C-alpha cells in the first residue's frame, strides 16, 4: 500500500525531488493518477493553504510547495489525460491591463491547480478583450482578475463590462483580488467574489461554482 501521507508531507516541506520520486513510485506501484492527485498532492496543498491562512506559512514556503506540486503534475498530467480525468472546473487568470505584478497571481494559479482546477494563465498586463477571448475559447467558467496598483483597478471594471458586452456574464463568474482590492470594490463593480489571499481564493472559487 502506497503511503500518501509521505507524499503529502514531502509536498508540504517543498521537497521537489522527493515529490517527483514518490509520484513516479506511486504510479509504478499501480496507484491511479487520480488517487495520487487527490490523496497525495491536493491533500498536501490543502494543508499548505491552511498554514498560509493561519500565518504559519508565508509566500516563500507556499511558492516552494507549489513548485514541488508543479514538478509532480508534469509527470501526472499525461497520465490523467489518458484516463480521461477531467479538472473540477476551468479558470482563466491574469493581472489586468497596465499592471505587471505577478507574484500574487502566480500564487493563486498554483493554489487553484493544486485544488484540481485547470488554470489558463494569461500573464500580466492583460487587456479586457483577452479575458473575453479566453472565456470564449477555453470555456472557463471562472475569470480571476488581479491588480496590485490602485491605478489599474478600473481595468477590472472594464473587463467585467467587456464580458457583459460579449454576452458572457451569465455563465461566467468573476473573482478579483490584490493588495488594494476590497470586498466593497468587488460589490461596486459587480464582481461575483473577492479574495484577500491565495488560499481563500480556492475556497471562494469552490463556493461560487458550488463544488
C-beta of residue 23 within 8 angstroms of C-beta of residue 10: no
pLDDT recorded at residue 64: 92
Q: What is the mean pLDDT of the chain?
A: 92
Task: Give whole-number Cα distances, 11 to 16, 47, 57, 72, in Å.
Answer: 7, 10, 13, 9
Collapsing DSSP to helix, strand or coil, 114 comes out as helix
- Which pairs with CB-CB distance under 8 Å and at least 24 residues apart come from 2-8? 2/26, 2/29, 2/31, 4/35, 4/36, 4/39, 4/40, 4/43, 7/36, 7/40, 7/41, 7/44, 8/39, 8/40, 8/41, 8/43, 8/44, 8/47
Q: pLDDT tens digits, residue range 64-117?
A: 998 898 899 899 888 887 877 778 899 999 999 999 998 889 889 988 887 888
> Which parts of the chain sit beneath pLDDT 50?
none
pLDDT recorded at residue 29: 94
pLDDT recorded at residue 81: 79
Note the maximum CA span of the chain: 54
Nearest to 177 by CA among 88, 69, 102, 67: 102
The C-alpha cell of 99 is what? Answer: 499592471
Where do the domains of the chain lie, and which CATH numbers do they carry? 4-82 (1.10.1240.10), 90-209 (3.40.50.280)
- The number of angstroms, rounded, from the C-alpha of 112 to the middle of its chain's C-alpha atoms is 2
Question: What's the pTM value of the predicted model, to 2 decimals?
Answer: 0.78
The C-alpha cell of 51 is what? Answer: 498554514
Amino acid at each position: 500500500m502506497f503511503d500518501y501521507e509521505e507524499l503529502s508531507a514531502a509536498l508540504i516541506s517543498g521537497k521537489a525531488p522527493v515529490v517527483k520520486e514518490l509520484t513516479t513510485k506511486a504510479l509504478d506501484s499501480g496507484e491511479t493518477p487520480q488517487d495520487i492527485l487527490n490523496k497525495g498532492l491536493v491533500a498536501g496543498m490543502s494543508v499548505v493553504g491552511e498554514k498560509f491562512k493561519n500565518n504559519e506559512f508565508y509566500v516563500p514556503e507556499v511558492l516552494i510547495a507549489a513548485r514541488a506540486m508543479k514538478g509532480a503534475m508534469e509527470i501526472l498530467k499525461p497520465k490523467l489525460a489518458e484516463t480521461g480525468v477531467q479538472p473540477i472546473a476551468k479558470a482563466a487568470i491574469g493581472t489586468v491591463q497596465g499592471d505587471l505584478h505577478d507574484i500574487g497571481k502566480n500564487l493563486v494559479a498554483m493554489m487553484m491547480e493544486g485544488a484540481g482546477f485547470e488554470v489558463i494563465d494569461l500573464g500580466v498586463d492583460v487587456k479586457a478583450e483577452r479575458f473575453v477571448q479566453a472565456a470564449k475559447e477555453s470555456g472557463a467558467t471562472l475569470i480571476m482578475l488581479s491588480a496590485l496598483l490602485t491605478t489599474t483597478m478600473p481595468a477590472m471594471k472594464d473587463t467585467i463590462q467587456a464580458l457583459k458586452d460579449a454576452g458572457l456574464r451569465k455563465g461566467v463568474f468573476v473573482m478579483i483580488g490584490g493588495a488594494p482590492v476590497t470586498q466593497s470594490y468587488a460589490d461596486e463593480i459587480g464582481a461575483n467574489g473577492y479574495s484577500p489571499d491565495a488560499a481563500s481564493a480556492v475556497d471562494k472559487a469552490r463556493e461560487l461554482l458550488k463544488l
